[in-house]
A and B are shown apart, each in its own frame.
Chain A
Amino acid sequence: MTAVEHTWFMFGRHVRSLARQPVWIVILLIQPFFWLVLYSQLFRRITDLPGFETSSYIEFLTPGIVVMTAFFTGAWNGMSMVNDLDRGIIERFLAIPARRSSLVLSHVAQCSLNAVIQGLIVLCLGYLMGARVREGLLGWLVILVAAALVAACFSGISNGIALFTRREETMIAVSNFIALPLLFFSSALIARDLMPDWMRTAARLNPVEWGVVSARETVQPDTDWGTIGLYFVLLVATVAATSAFATWSFRAYRRTL
């Protein structure tokens, strides 16, 4: 119970700080904006290839971009932990009866909120460009939940790495190292049927792909709710595991104090 309360208070701190600098949301949107606009123009005719269940690439791409943005937001979330470490904020919280888990979970929750805000903006942009979500409002909700879960998943990993490395440079290197492969081992930009077999197999183990598939189901005909349910359960379990990893990483940090 205390952990939930503490998470709520710490989460409040992050939200206030974001609300005072909403420019961050915009900065984080520049990249997905370019993906959405340029990529969709460049590969407009890609849906002529077999394997795409929709005939509009923008429709195919929009849920993928939402989840991809959430993934990047998550993978970079450790930077705010590094910031808190640098400024002695974490040290201060460790000397008061604050639950360790609340220090991690508040960052994770903040990251999910970011992903939902960005997801909404991307969805609106996609809508203007002609992407329609077949399942309507429920579909939008599924896409945003997928984004929140993927962001939370990687936020946990990223925060754990932050506590181990405590340095921005190392964080950047590690994030880049994991981000690109995970993106390409997913169907965020390309239909799964166009991937070679071995990549397709590898993609099945990729949490980014779980999010992309769940989100995309809602724009395609014959939405498979079973798949969405299964992947959501897997994502929730992964969020729990990565957050537990980050909480455990405080041990490593405390040894350096």
Chain B
Amino acid sequence: MDAIVVEGLEKTYPKGIRALDGVSFRVREGEVFGLLGPNGAGKSTTVRVLATLTAPDAGSATVAGHDVFREPDAVRGVIGYVAQQSGHDREATGRENLALQGHVHGLRGAPLRRRVDELLDRLGIADAGDRIVRTYSGGMRRRLDIGLGLVHEPSVLFLDEPTTGLDPEARASMWDELERLAREESLTVLLTTHYLEEADQLADRLAIVSQGKVVVEGTPEGLKRQLRGDAVTIELADGRAEDAEAAIRALRGVHEASVEDQLLRARVENGGTAVPGILSALEGRGIGVTSVTMSRPSLDDVYLHVTGRDFRTEDQASADE
């Protein structure tokens, strides 16, 4: 069964900003699904609609089998929502924050206390549980936010930009944490992010969102494979670039090749097996090689490929608006 089904969501904000322009996707039970896109692509709006916070102008959505618009309270009972902006109470302790959230979800007494302890422990903030949140570090606060979304053991967790604002170290440890939590709590996770590495690292499948639409959907590996292979860059020792290009074009498994000064770039089916062949072909013709680098295609390449726009430029441009 699909945990989340989204069909043709459209939403225009009062000032005429078109946030969603027909968003559709499906998330399978138990998977981590990433919505990847630059700032302003409509990711947060999509999540807010699914978390029953706001209504779209058109379209339909179900979460864990419940219709988001007809049974909002049923949806609220089975989802955890962790907003981009943290929603904790800074003037309360971590434990108080979690207990209040649990109370509203109908938990009481010993089971609630056990759950709160368990979460503080799992999130690595057990020692800080009785401290006022104002004294927490950014990473600790973010962990608490995630704990607030998990108190009632939801089956679906929405994470809106979970690591924005964290330093690289805190981000990396948060990634480990999220992977572990998704497994331990047997969650379906819908994650939005504008970090390509984050989607690559965490998502089983992902949809790239641009200007209110899903432009492509698949596994990170599958999407990268569509780019027809790995990039191989060879630095030549002594010119003869045209010869070198001709030599490797003839090889099997090489899709494209181009030269620029001393650099020979090629896209190959599989970098690991293609490189030895390329090197021996060049050696056979007496062409010297200074260095070889091989890179797997990145989601940057995918984004550029499907939208025709550079991800970082677009992300920066929307953030500046």
Q: A residues near B, CB below 8 A?
A: 5-6, 9-10, 12-13, 16-17, 20-21, 87-89, 91-98, 254-257
Contacts and interface: CB of A to CB of B under 8 A. Distances in A.
Contacts, number: 77
Contacts of A88: 83, 85-87
A5 B106 CA distance: 10
A92 B132 contact: no
B52 interface: yes
B81 A92 contact: yes
B100 A91 contact: no
Contacts of A13: 89, 92, 96, 100
Contacts of B90: 87
A229 B14 CA distance: 46
6 contacts: A16-B91, A89-B87, A91-B83, A95-B76, A96-B152, A257-B53
B148 interface: yes
Contacts of B53: 91, 94-95, 254, 257
B59 interface: no
A83 to B, nearest CB: 10
Nearest to A86: B85
B272 interface: no
A10 B99 CA distance: 11
**Interface SS of chain A: helix, strand, loop or mixed?**
helix
Contacts of B104: 6, 9, 93, 96-98
B100 A12 contact: yes
B101 interface: yes
Contacts of A5: 103
B51 interface: yes
Contacts of A94: 52-53
B105 A91 contact: no
A97 B87 contact: no
B256 interface: no
A85 to B, nearest CB: 10
Interface string B12-24: 0110000000000
Most buried by B among A16, A87, A88, A95: A95
A16 B89 CA distance: 11
Interface of B: 13-14, 48, 51-55, 73, 76-77, 79, 81, 83, 85-92, 96, 100-101, 103-106, 132, 148, 152
B92 to A, nearest CB: 6
Contacts of B106: 97
Nearest to B81: A95
B87 A257 contact: no
Contacts of A98: 104
Given A95-B79, A96-B105, A257 B14 contact: no
A22 to B, nearest CB: 13
Contacts of A21: 91
Contact of A255 (B54, B77, B87, B91): B54
Given A9-B100, A87-B88, A256-B14, 17 more contacts: A9-B104, A10-B100, A13-B92, A16-B91, A20-B91, A21-B91, A87-B85, A87-B87, A91-B83, A92-B87, A95-B51, A96-B76, A96-B105, A97-B77, A97-B106, A254-B53, A255-B14
Contacts of B89: 13, 17, 87, 89
Contacts of B88: 87, 89, 92
B260 to A, nearest CB: 49
A96 B104 CA distance: 7
A16 B132 contact: no
Nearest to B77: A97
Contacts of B77: 97
A13 B83 CA distance: 20
B96 A16 contact: yes
A95 B52 contact: yes
Given A95-B51, A97-B76, A20 B132 contact: yes
A167 to B, nearest CB: 16
Contacts of A6: 104
A91 B91 contact: no
A36 B234 CA distance: 86
A98 to B, nearest CB: 5
Nearest to A89: B87
B101 A96 contact: yes
A256 to B, nearest CB: 8
Nearest to B52: A95
Contacts of A16: 91-92, 96
A56 B124 CA distance: 64
A5 B13 CA distance: 35
B76 A254 contact: no
Contacts of A20: 91, 132
B14 A17 contact: no
Contacts of B55: 254
